[in-house]
Chains A and B, each alone.
Chain A
Amino acid sequence: MADEHSPSGTRWIWNVFWLLLIVTGVEVALGIIKPTVLLHEVAGTSILNLIFIGLTLVKAGYIVQYFMHLKYEDSTFRSSIYLPVLILIPYLTFITLFEGVKVFGY
């Protein structure tokens, strides 16, 4: 809905802040400890790296939706921003990384 308004007050801002801080803290802790269980290889990389990428997307989602207010914008406007980014970037990533692996094997 276009008319949905952002929450009032500043409490929600600090909630998002704590979330971002805790997620970053978890990433750093995992990066320093590197638990051996998580170094197992899955889909060409370690489980740990997949966790890092997942947590990064969570952080990005919160920044875009709440800090950049996109959650409360008009739905057409929202799609015009999400669609190009969510289609082109994974596509580019897929192509370049697969090519990189091929070049390494070559």
Chain B
Amino acid sequence: MKAEYGKMMMWYFLISDALTFSGFLTAYGFMRFANEKTWPIAEDVFTHFPGISGEQPLLYVALMTFILIMSSVTMVLAVNAGHERKQGAVGWWMIATIVGGFIFLGSQAWEWYHFIIGDKGAIELADGRVLKVADAETGEVLSLSQLVHGEAGHASNHSETFTMTEVQQAFIANDEVVLQSPGKGHEQLSRSESVAALGSAEVVQGANMKRNEYGQKQFANFFFFITGFHGFHVFSGVILNIIVFYNVLLGTYERRKSYLMVEKVGLYWHFVDLVWVFVFTFFYLV
């Protein structure tokens, strides 16, 4: 097949990894299609951007995508410089790639942090449904902070926690609010149904593996698992890049008269970018 052994094996590893990721993403698709009405809409979940207030759907993931594409470009430049046997240039482009990897990991940490502490909060009914508090007329979702504190409340709860009694009292006092499904169609309970349901409900704020304020339990589980598994790939990619960078500095590849190792690690790094392209579409966009 005229391909160098190590490179060929790297490709075959990447095929099996691609199948693993497609298993995760299709499993996500399965659960989403099986719970079509109640599945959370990603653009209502990931709405924050550091330094800008208000709702900015997609912007932050777009930035993360840009960071990863950029670090893929610096990786190709490193491989390219390796073909020309320019030790210094390979080193600098490897540093740029490693820095890009760390920035991406940091961005992911930021996103996880906001996902875990939560945004607007929700109510979990006795039957397990997770519903948002919303204006009956406009369907606009209110945060628990806005429900309890009225005008003085924040659009996001930040780190404030609310008890069920507080929420229930505020809900009963405000005639204009009902409970609304976070999923497609935003189906609402009637005012009387909502008030009745609150009797045996609980407050949900933030997300963990057992429950989350965004809706379906599996949504958060898939989020943690898919982006976590991808993030772990990015992390191992950064480690591999550091090892290769160290060897570039030592002149290992100069002695071998070939920078093939940079190319192999490059394949892995591009694959990480490739997976993110799909995660971006199927988790955040579609």
Chain A residues within 8 Å of B, Cβ to Cβ: 2, 10, 13-14, 16-17, 20-21, 24-25, 27-28, 31-32, 45, 49, 52-53, 55-56, 59-60, 63-64, 66-69, 73-74, 76-77, 80-81, 84-85, 88-89, 92-93, 96-97, 99-101, 103-104
Tell me if A96 and B267 are in contact (CB < 8 A): no
| Residues of chain A contacted by B19 (CB below 8 angstroms) | 84-85, 88-89, 92
What is the bound-complex CA distance between A28 and B69, given in angstroms? 15
What is the bound-complex CA distance between A56 and B284, given in angstroms? 12
| Residues of chain A contacted by B15 (CB below 8 angstroms) | 81, 84-85
Name A's interface SS: helix
| Residues of chain B contacted by A60 (CB below 8 angstroms) | 274, 277-278
Tell me if B29 and A13 are in contact (CB < 8 A): no
Shortest distance in angstroms between A37's beta carbon and chain B's nearest beta carbon?
A: 18
B73 interfacial by beta-carbon distance below 8 Å: yes
What is the bound-complex CA distance between A59 and B72, given in angstroms? 13
| Residues of chain A contacted by B2 (CB below 8 angstroms) | 2, 74, 76-77
Tell me if A97 and B11 are in contact (CB < 8 A): no
Specify the chain A residue showing the minimal Cβ separation from B57.
A32
| Residues of chain B contacted by A59 (CB below 8 angstroms) | 277
A28-B62 contact in complex given A60-B277, A96-B27, C-beta closer than 8 Å: yes
The count of chain B contact residues (Cβ–Cβ below 8 Å) is 50
Chain B residues within 8 Å of A, Cβ to Cβ: 1-3, 8, 11-12, 15, 18-19, 22-23, 26-27, 29-36, 43, 57-59, 62, 65-66, 69-70, 72-73, 75-77, 80, 263, 266-267, 270-271, 273-274, 277-278, 280-281, 284-286
| Residues of chain A contacted by B274 (CB below 8 angstroms) | 60, 63-64, 68
Contact residue among B277, B284, B286 (Cβ-Cβ distance under 8 Å from A49):
B286
Shortest distance in angstroms between B61's beta carbon and chain A's nearest beta carbon?
A: 8
| Residues of chain B contacted by A17 (CB below 8 angstroms) | 69-70, 73
What is the bound-complex CA distance between A57 and B25, given in angstroms? 15
- Other than the known A21-B69, A76-B1, A100-B29, what 9 A-B pairs have Cβ atoms closer than 8 Å? A13-B80, A68-B270, A81-B15, A85-B15, A96-B30, A97-B26, A99-B30, A103-B33, A104-B34
Tell me if A73 and B72 are in contact (CB < 8 A): no
Contact residue among B11, B58, B263, B278 (Cβ-Cβ distance under 8 Å from A81):
B11
Tell me if B77 and A13 are in contact (CB < 8 A): yes
Tell me if A85 and B18 are in contact (CB < 8 A): yes
| Residues of chain A contacted by B33 (CB below 8 angstroms) | 97, 100-101, 103-104
Tell me if B77 and A52 are in contact (CB < 8 A): no
Contact residue among B30, B80, B277, B280 (Cβ-Cβ distance under 8 Å from A97):
B30
Tell me if A93 and B26 are in contact (CB < 8 A): yes
Tell me if A24 and B62 are in contact (CB < 8 A): yes
What is the bound-complex CA distance between A89 and B15, given in angstroms? 11
Shortest distance in angstroms between A55's beta carbon and chain B's nearest beta carbon?
A: 8
Tell me if B73 and A13 are in contact (CB < 8 A): yes
What is the bound-complex CA distance between A74 and B266, given in angstroms? 19
What is the bound-complex CA distance between A12 and B14, given in angstroms? 24
Specify the chain B residue showing the minimal Cβ separation from A74.
B2
What is the bound-complex CA distance between A13 and B73, given in angstroms? 7
Contact residue among B66, B73, B75, B266 (Cβ-Cβ distance under 8 Å from A24):
B66
Contact residue among B18, B32, B72, B286 (Cβ-Cβ distance under 8 Å from A53):
B286
